[in-house]
Structure 1
Amino acid sequence: MTGAALDLLCRLVRSALDAEEGRAVTPVGPVALGAVPLHDLVDGVRRHRVPELLAARSGQLGLPDEVVRVLDAMLAGARQRRLVHTLETVRAWQLLDTAGIDALVVKGIPLAVLTTGDADARGAGDVDLLVRPESAAAAHRLLTGAGWALHEQGRVEPGMWAWRHVQRWGHTLTYLGAGADVDLHWRLDAMPGAQPATGDLLARRTTVEVGGVAIPTLARADAFRHLAGHREGWTWLRTLVDLRRLARDPAVFAEPLSAPALTSLAAARATVGLPGTVPGPVRDALDRVPGAVLARARAGHELPVALFGGARAGREVRNGMATVRGPRDVQQLAMTLVLPAHAALPVRSATAWGGVPRAFALRTRRLVRGR
């Protein structure tokens, strides 16, 4: 999308969030809207996943009927997917809960309810489950038994060397499903020091209603820190919208923020804005985030997601370096550079003797090919 379209989209999103917070909003005039082709603005809305926010505040934003019709069509087209997402969220969590596996549903619909009270406020996506590391194998068997499947090139199983490597050095596996994909997490981040221990997150849980069912999810402060330090960074404005909404609660700032979290908040301030509840010392820290970092974030916002996604590996390493807390984190960072968890997925060996050389060979081949 063009820089002009991004500027307009950020202005609309910021104003919509101001309206949510009860502030007076100046409608966007026809001159501003006329300066950006409608298709460019619509592409930006779709790319940054914010049609629900803009449609809900279209009257206060002063959006013309033509734009409102497009937003309504986007929501109508996604209505069936949102319904399926709700059903699959409940099904996946109940599958684990019935088997006695303690699990949270993070992001997704629970985050929409947590931040707005409206299950439809955030749009559909994957189902993210968080379980204790020792429960991952049992959760894997339940998910695959219920029809979810790992990608055919990475179908690891407990007992394989690749499974053990991914469990130790990774933090998530993605299961493809007919209705919605499931991301199974045993940690919120591969870096042990980047996020609280899974047991602590489970102990601090809160509950929201999804599809008439009480679903456990992250406590508000934990959800805030997860999003702020998340590896997806600033891929979508929607993530920055979530940050602003969570930042309305002063309690989320009770603990010091990591460097990646401060960078995410600075990116949010530069695009969708931040609420007045952000403490002064935090705002001072945001002022010290280098302008070059924010320029990279803006440049990424203008790219299609597929292209921006290519920079994720480097961003994970930079975030990892900023969140090192001890020897275990140093080991994790080194393994991310040498043999990251995903490099093991295609390897079928039962032991490290066969698995490690094969994984290194595949990784070297990919690096030579520039993949």
Structure 2
Amino acid sequence: MSAALDLLCRLVSGALEAEEGHAVDPVPLGDVTARDLLDGVRRHRVPELLRSRAGELGLPGEVVRVLDAMLAGSRQRHLVHTFETVRAWRLLDAAGVESLVFKGIALSVLTTGRPDARGAGDVDLLVRPEAAAEAHRLLTGSGWALHEQGRIEPEMWAWRHVQRWGHTLTYLGAGADVDLHWRLDAMPGAQPETPDLLARATTVAVGGTQVPTLAPADAFRHLAGHREGWIWLRTLVDLRRLARDPAVFAQELPGPALTSLAAARATVGLPATVPDRVLAAIDRIPDAALARARAHHELPIAVFGGAGTAREVRNGMAAVRRPRDLQQVAVTLVLPPHAALPVRSATAWGGVPRAFALRAQRLVRR
């Protein structure tokens, strides 16, 4: 596994170097089988990048043919993702709900100018916290639905708990799921306030429609602080692409962001635009932090997804900036937002005891 990951990192780094106009040498597979390499490509979601630079990288024909098949197989999904992205944003915009689209196709266009430079996924929307209830009604009225075990409504205690202490809800859809965010991070101090993000938004063309998205500096800070991003090289690819703009380094970066940049440098590399002061700060990141990032790269997705509240608390402590952040960590320990989702009570008097009981049952089962 380690040899295949090392090879994949060299290939991805070389592809990004070529993207930046540098000459690159072919990268031989060595002792790594084509199958192991392609398993890593799927795991880390980078077939689009490697196929676009297959010639410069000297990828063998058998690998190129499978990459072509991967892209052909995802083409229809990409078209549906494009349609659903525009449909979800237009739905809110037509009702006067200010929102922006981030990650996904919008990020692909922002970083490369092409909508198909990274794979399809969910549709991520950001709205003001006070607009989340209206966005919920619009989405559920147009075919999207929360999971049947967590179909909360604004009138319920669970909604108020999730709204206060959480930052997103996922709505399942026939074409693409929608992640509705009212903050970029559960930790209030980890990212700028939502009204500021909306005010700084830029626009990109998605499916022929001009759609607002995060400004490059905000997208960079979000990805750098997006601590689960280490499980996919694709997120670190996005980070390197955004780092090509010197303006994203105008503000000082917090520790978690510097750790992400260090993880990027150790895997996919960093562009020459990264300032010396940032490189010096990256040099001070402990080796243990890079070892954890490496472990995340090698974990199966299903294993990482089960890490649960302990990881949320550990990550949260690294992002503490003010007293409200400490409250967030405490709530995550005691009664995290997702613990409220199965509770149907309208008031805290009925909701809190039920949520604690369900949480205790889950902990006992574990």
Q: Which category describes the TM-score, using the shorter chain as reference length?
A: over 0.9
Match of 1:55 in 2: 51
Aligned residues: 366
Alignment of 1:270-349 (within 5 A): 270-311=266-307, 313-349=309-345
> What is the rounded CA distance, in whole Å, between the counterparts of 1:70 and 1:211 in structure 2?
27
Q: Distance in 2 between matches of 1:250 and 1:312?
A: 36
Q: 1:152 is matched with which residue: 124, 128, 148?
A: 148
The residue type paired with residue 150 of structure 1 is L
TM-score relative to the length of structure 2: 0.98
1:232 is aligned, of 220, 228, 233, to 228
* Correspondence for 2:15: 16
Counterpart for residue 90 of structure 1: 86
SS at match of 1:180: coil
Specify the SS of the correspondent of 1:193: helix
In the TM superposition, residue 139 of structure 1 has moved relative to its aligned partner by: 0.3
Determine whether 1:248 maps to 2:207: no
Distance 2:311 2:261 in 1: 16
The aligned amino acid for 1:43 is: D
The match for 1:203 is 199
Q: Cα distance, 1:367 vs. partner?
A: 1.5
| Residue 262 of structure 2 is aligned to residue 263 of structure 1 | no
2:168 to 152, 165, 172: 172
Shift of 1:215: 0.3
SS at 1:234's partner residue?
helix
Aligned equivalent of 1:128: 124
Judge conservation of contact 2:15–2:50 (CA < 8 Å) in 1: yes
The corresponding residue for 1:183 is 179
Structure 1 segment 42-81 matched on structure 2, within 5 A: 42-81=38-77
Deviations 1:22-45 (A, max 9, x none): 11101013xxx1411211111110
Q: Post-superposition shift, 1:319? A: 2.4
Q: Structure 1 pair 259/314, CA: closer, same or farther in 2 (3 Å)?
A: farther
Ranges in structure 2 where 5+ consecutive residues have no aligned partner? none
**Structure 1, residues 106-137: CA drift from partner, whole Å, max 9, x if none?**
10001000000000001100000000000000
Q: CA–CA distance in 1 between the matches of 2:340 and 2:311?
A: 21
> Deviation string for 1:122-161 (max 9, x for gaps)?
1100000000000000000000000000000000001100
SS at match of 2:307: helix
- Give, in whole Å, the separation in 2 of the partners of 1:144 and 1:231: 30
Deviation at 1:290, TM superposition (A): 1.1
Read off the aligned partner of 2:293 and give its amino acid letter: A
How far did residue 311 of structure 1 move? 3.0
Partner of 1:105: 101
CA distance in 2, matches of 1:312, 1:72: 36
Using a 3 Å threshold, how does the CA distance of structure 1 residues 239 and 363 change in structure 2: closer, same or farther? same
Given that 2:231 and 2:299 are in contact with CA atoms closer than 8 Å, whether structure 1 keeps it comes out as no
CA positional deviation for 1:259: 1.1
Change (3 A) 1:277 1:233: same
SS of the aligned residue for 1:174 comes to: strand
Residue 23 of structure 1 aligns with an amino acid whose one-letter code is H
- Secondary structure (helix, strand or coil) at the match of 1:150 reads coil
Residues 191-213 of structure 1 show CA distances to partners (whole Å, capped at 9, x for unaligned) of 11000000000000000000000
RMSD: 0.9
1:4 aligns with 2:3: yes
TM-score by length of 1: 0.97
Matching residue within 211, 215, 225 for 1:219? 215
The answer (yes or no) to whether the contact 1:106–1:218 under 8 Å persists in 2 is yes
Cα pair 1:231 1:316 within 8 Å, conserved: no
Inter-partner Cα distance in structure 1 for 2:300 and 2:326: 33
Q: What runs of 5+ residues in structure 1 fail to find an aligned partner?
A: none
User: After the TM superposition, which parts of structure 1 deviate over 6 Å for at least 4 consecutive aligned residues?
Assistant: none
Say if 1:89 and 1:127, in contact at 8 Å, map to a contact too. yes
